[in-house]
Structure 1
């Protein structure tokens, strides 16, 4: 079970850089790139959950690249963009890996895996996170081989959920906590 998302405006560039950096350090033979609009899009989201989703997708991309048996271009490119009307934010992750399996419709099902050591939970978790963020997820073939995973979010809808950084919120939470921990006899 995942905790309920806490929605705040976040820098997608920061989240994307963090997820790519973790894999870049571990896989120096793969080129990682981040492409984004100027100014880069932000998104009202749960930082931890969207970070987890991006990390899972990049991890799958790396594993797909490592499964390619012939010498080829090895890269993961994450693209962050906004629809022209600003109502949608799109995150696309393209890899030069082995491509989608024959059972491509089933890859988001829990426990479905094409890997010998996979649990089959990575994309199921991503799907749940995307759905809880009122988004959609699509899989496509990358030109020249590989896969593109595209997540599209309704930025307008998410903006209405922004819990923000209300300065009174911290004080109210602190007051509630002290009331809970206060000695009942005092």
Structure 2
């Protein structure tokens, strides 16, 4: 009950923040784009300051918009709709999306045959896997000294229990690893601290547990 109350309070905070931030974002972006169109051609091409500053405004607005979308999805996550799905297909799709975006990282999937089936909400499990792999990619990119940049997802089924393991060659977990699933707790300069909170919420609504360990 206490956990539900805390989560409801965080959802309310997220909803209010999303609403308050979203309103001024569009006029800020439109104003910067209009400045570029109106005055960009009049400025000396050798003077790159104007272009650099307006580009920064537009890019930062885009970052804020993505942050607001995370707040909104945390606040408004619908109840899962359960159907039997192929977990291998979901895992493959998740890894493929990241493979395209990060060609410097080696992604691999290990699973048993035949394909593991899971009764789940396809969209939510996909979102959870995507967030976990995104975190792994960021950990790998923050560890340039590793011999190989790799992420491995392993799917196993034992005694009616399905386990999804994601291992990476990244920088490792922070000391306070149990707190990283709490809303607004982040170790990254530009993180919202909602990615793993969303994953935990999805996992719990699928009657699962999430744990962290060193590789």
Partner of 2:189: 116
1:71 CA drift (Å): 4.3
Aligned partners of 2:157 and 2:197: how far apart in 1?
25
**CA distance in structure 1 between the aligned counterparts of 2:154 and 2:180, rounded to whole angstroms:** 22
> Given the alignment of the two structures, is residue 4 of structure 1 paired with residue 99 of structure 2, yes or no?
no
Task: Kindly indicate whether residue 101 of structure 2 is the aligned counterpart of residue 26 of structure 1.
Answer: yes
Q: Deviations over 1:51-108 (max 9, x none)?
A: 000000000000000001314211010011100x2x1011111111000011111100
C-alpha root-mean-square deviation of aligned residues, in Å? 0.8
* Higher radius of gyration, 1 or 2: 2
How many Å apart are 1:40 and its aligned residue? 2.1
Partner of 1:128: helix, strand, or coil?
A: helix
Alignment of 1:9-88 (within 5 A): 9-83=84-158, 85=159, 87-88=160-161
Structure 1: gaps (5+ residues): 143-186
1:42–1:141 CA distance, 2 compared to 1 (3 A):
same
Q: Which residue number corresponds to residue 176 of structure 2?
A: 103
Q: TM-score, normalised by structure 2?
A: 0.64
Checking the alignment, whether the CA contact within 8 Å between 2:146 and 2:169 is kept in structure 1 is no
- Higher strand fraction: Structure 1 or Structure 2? 1
Structure 2 unaligned regions, length at least 5: 1-75
TM-score by length of 1: 0.74
Runs of at least 4 residues off by over 4 Å:
none
Which is richer in helix?
2
